[in-house]
Amino acid sequence: MKSSNKITKKYVSSQIAENEKVFSKDDFCNKTGLSLYINELMREKGLESASEIYTRAGISKQTWSHIYSGQYCPSPENARKLTIGLKCTLSEAEKLLSYCGMSFVPGNDNDECFKYCIENQIFRIVDVLICMKDKGSLQIAA
């Protein structure tokens, strides 16, 4: 009996290891949809200057280029920063985050600061950071 238990455990362990998958943000991100949505927002809002967007968002030109071209899914931090850079409404921000496989987390101080700034049309990342600092929740890189 002991030997059959060992075989069974070994078999089960091997099957779990074979079928187990480590998820990355790219598993939940629709990079193409995100890129198209960013283009749509830029067109609708008359935002022509990419440098204005990534500067306002506080992300690098290289990161912007990779996200904009659909090659890269942004980190949660950069996805939220993009909502500021693109001057999103709250519904637009939620849609943008959904393309990234993310959402605002209720009760999260950082997300509450982003939402407050978006709802009040405060589109400077420094103001979001000040809000976070005031709440004592500064957990995002500037």
The pLDDT of residue 137 is 59
Angle at 94 between CA 40 and CA 84, to 5 degrees: 70
Q: Which residue has the higher pLDDT, 9 or 33?
A: 33
Tens of pLDDT, residues 83-135: 999 999 999 999 999 999 999 999 998 899 999 999 999 999 999 889 888 87
> Distances in Å between the alpha carbon of 56 and those of 4, 33, 53, 124, 137?
63, 22, 5, 6, 21
41-70 pLDDT tens trace: 999 999 989 999 999 999 999 999 999 999
What is the C-alpha separation between 32 and 7, in angstroms, rounded?
A: 45
Least-confidence region, from 6-10, 47-51, 73-77: 6-10
What pTM did the predictor assign?
0.77
Give the N- to C-terminal CA distance of the chain in Å, as an integer: 61
3-state DSSP percent of the chain in helix, strand and coil, to 5: 65, 0, 35
CB 50 within 8 A of CB 41: no
Output the pLDDT for position 123: 94
Q: How confident is the model at residue 7 (pLDDT cuts 50, 70, 90)?
A: low
